[in-house]
């Protein structure tokens, strides 16, 4: 079901009966959109979660922009902060890649119930061992980074090695066709710019989710987040960067659902007698 939050398109997956006191807000990463969460949102709604998979500005049907290459990281942060004002309660935020960084940057303002950070991408300035992934530093990306041009999706061979490794070739082809240009200005901020650390540590449970074969989000990123924010971590063996595909979605949702119940307890549950 298509809805809008602050002029941003959202794909909403609603259960027959909402069982939890927070919705889930799902934030996509570079080159993607709300479509990447379809399998995860479906599995969550079956468990009683209401899910809002957001499309940030510049995506089809969402807030239009004149030049996607000029979108700043701060613009995406403003999108998310504004969008959450339309939700009925502070959400559990899921973020993938760049979306995980955006979840952290907005946490102080939004006060989410929990953060689920899948394959997070972090600015290189946040830690000595954090290095930008190859798709953001290769020659094909240079014009976008230098002159705020559209950052086009990696060519199929690069996407196969860095975004979709461990996935079947037919699925790689299908996913690559859905990718779209993103912001060169945002990519430059990740690779060369200064992104201030959050002034305050998020006051909510944080879970880092990573594939053991991830070539975009390095182990140094996980080490940094678990140390600085005392986050929990779950790693899936033989998995890469793209963790939201259908064959993993049910297992991923079951694991995260269990962690949320353990972390937030009974306050997360809507008593049945309160349901209409």
DSSP string, 178-197: H---EEHHHHHHHHTS--PP
H-state helical runs in 111-155: 142-147
pLDDT over 70 for what percent of the chain? 98
Domain count, the chain: 1
Whether residue 135 lies inside any domain: the answer is yes
Domain annotation covers residue 179? yes
The alpha carbon of residue 86 and the mean position of all alpha carbons in its chain are separated, in whole angstroms, by 19
**How much is the pTM?**
0.96
User: Is residue 50 pLDDT above 50, yes or no?
Assistant: yes
114 in any annotated domain:
yes
Torsion-angle region of 111 (φ positive above 0: left; ψ -120 to 50: alpha; else: beta)? left
Q: Does the residue 231 lie in any domain?
A: yes
Supply the pLDDT for residue 200. 72
End-to-end CA distance of the chain: 22
CB count in 10 Å sphere of residue 47: 13
Taking alpha carbons only, the member of 87, 85, 23, 80 closest to residue 54 is: 80
Q: Tokens 């794909």, residue?
A: 11
pLDDT exceeds cutoff 70 at 273: no
E strand or H helix that includes residue 25: strand 24-27
pLDDT tens by residue, 203-253: 899 999 999 999 999 899 999 999 888 899 999 999 999 999 989 999 999
Residue 275 lies inside a defined structural domain of this protein: no
Residue 159 lies in a domain: yes
Mean pLDDT for 68-97 is 97
Element (H, E) at 46: helix 38-46
- Please determine, for residue 197, whether its predicted confidence score (pLDDT) is greater than 80: no
Distance of CA 64 to the CA centre of its chain: 21
pLDDT at 183: 97
In a domain, 202, yes or no: yes
Is 265 domain-assigned? Answer: no
Q: What is the mean pLDDT of the chain?
A: 94
Residue 275's pLDDT is: 47
How far apart CA 166 and CA 111 sit, in angstroms, is 35
Q: What is the CATH number of the domain that holds 131?
A: 3.40.50.1820
Per the structure, the complete domain to which residue 194 belongs is given by: 2-260
Helix, strand or coil, per DSSP, at residue 35 = helix
pLDDT given at position 211: 97
Read off the pLDDT of each residue in 130-150 and give the average, rounded to a whole number: 94
Percent of the chain having pLDDT more than 90?
Answer: 86
Beta bridge partners, 235, equal: 210
Least-confidence region, from 115-119, 141-145, 194-198: 194-198
- Grade residue 124 by pLDDT with cuts at 50, 70 and 90: confident
Asked whether residue 276 carries a pLDDT value surpassing 70, the answer given is no
């Amino acid at each position: 079901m298509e809805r809008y939050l602050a002029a941003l398109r959202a794909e909403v997956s609603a259960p027959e009966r909402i069982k939890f006191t927070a919705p889930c807000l799902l934030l996509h990463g570079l080159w993607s959109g709300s479509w990447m969460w379809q399998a995860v949102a479906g599995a969550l709604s079956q468990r009683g979660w209401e899910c809002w998979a957001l499309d940030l500005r510049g995506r089809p049907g969402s807030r239009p922009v004149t030049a996607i290459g000029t979108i700043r990281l701060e613009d995406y942060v403003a999108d998310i902060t504004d969008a959450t004002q339309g939700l009925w309660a502070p959400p559990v935020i899921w973020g993938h890649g760049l979306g995980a960084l955006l979840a952290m940057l907005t946490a102080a303002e939004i006060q989410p119930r929990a953060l689920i950070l899948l394959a997070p991408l972090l600015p290189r300035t946040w830690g000595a061992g954090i290095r930008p992934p190859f798709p953001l530093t290769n020659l094909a990306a240079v014009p976008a980074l230098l002159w705020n041009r559209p950052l086009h999706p990696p060519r199929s061979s690069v996407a196969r090695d860095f975004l979709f490794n461990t996935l079947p070739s037919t699925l790689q082809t299908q996913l690559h066709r859905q990718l779209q240009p993103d912001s060169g200005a945002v990519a430059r901020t990740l690779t060369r710019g200064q992104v201030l650390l959050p002034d305050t540590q998020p006051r909510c449970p944080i879970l880092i989710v990573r594939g053991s074969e991830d070539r975009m989000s390095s182990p140094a990123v996980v080490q940094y987040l678990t140390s600085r924010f005392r986050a929990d971590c779950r790693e899936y063996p033989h998995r890469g960067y793209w963790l939201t595909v259908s064959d993993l979605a049910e297992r991923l949702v079951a694991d995260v659902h269990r962690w949320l119940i353990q972390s937030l307890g009974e306050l997360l549950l809507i008593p049945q007698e309160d349901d209409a």
